[in-house]
Structure 1
Amino acid sequence: MTIIATYLAGILIIIGSFFALTAALGLIRLPDVYSRMHA
């Protein structure tokens, strides 16, 4: 059971890191405030 929880936590951390990276790139690349809020 702990092995499943460990792998599940790792997968969720990787997914969360991907979304954070995507949001950071959106904040850097988008031109105005409203587009950045949408990212």
Structure 2
Amino acid sequence: MATFAAVYKKLLTVQHLGYVTFIPILSYMTWLTLTYGMC
């Protein structure tokens, strides 16, 4: 049971890191599309 909790915690950490890196990239891409899409 303890190993399951540890693995689950590690998965949550990886998922959190994924969100932290993914969201800025996504917003940057959206900004680029809006900025250069209107020109």
Interval of TM-score (by shorter of Structure 1 and Structure 2)? 0.5 to 0.7
- Aligned residues: percent identity? 0
Structure 2 unaligned segments of length 5 or more: list them: 1-6
- Computing the radius of gyration over CA atoms, which structure comes out larger, 1 or 2? 2
Superposed CA RMSD in Å reads 1.0
Please identify runs of 4+ aligned residues in structure 1 that moved more than 2 A.
none
Instruction: Pick 1 or 2: higher relative contact order, CA cutoff 8 A, min separation 6.
Output: 1
**Larger helix proportion, structure 1 or 2?**
2
User: Paired residues, what number?
Assistant: 31
Where in structure 1 are there 5+ consecutive unaligned residues?
32-39
